[in-house]
Amino acid sequence: MMSNNITLEQVEQQVTQLPLHEQLKLMAHISERLSVLTLLETAEERQRREHVAQVESFLKMCDEMAAESVGEVDSAEEIRQIREERMARL
């Protein structure tokens, strides 16, 4: 099976053979494609940040509840350790 891999240099050589208006169309097409990809990445990053904020809020609430609990102080320390482990995984 033949590989259809094209190098950047080959593409650049082919682009220089195109008329100027075709080069501009190609540039616009690439720009539009990259803009769409950037928007998708931005949305994913926003979702990730929102998730992290929710987790942090929940863990803060857990810390507050642990501090108010009548039980041993060790439970608060355990919750802090769990929080640190989870945050390390994010």
Encode pLDDT of 72-83 as tens digits: 556 777 888 888
Q: What is the 3-state secondary structure (H, E, C) of the chain?
A: CCCCCCCHHHHHHHHHCCCHHHHHHHHHHHHHHHHHHHHHHHHHHHHHHHHHHHHHHHHHHHHHHHHHCCCCHHHHHHHHHHHHHHHHHC
The whole-model pTM stands at 0.44
Give tens-digit pLDDT for 32-85: 999 888 888 888 888 988 999 999 999 888 888 877 765 555 677 788 888 898
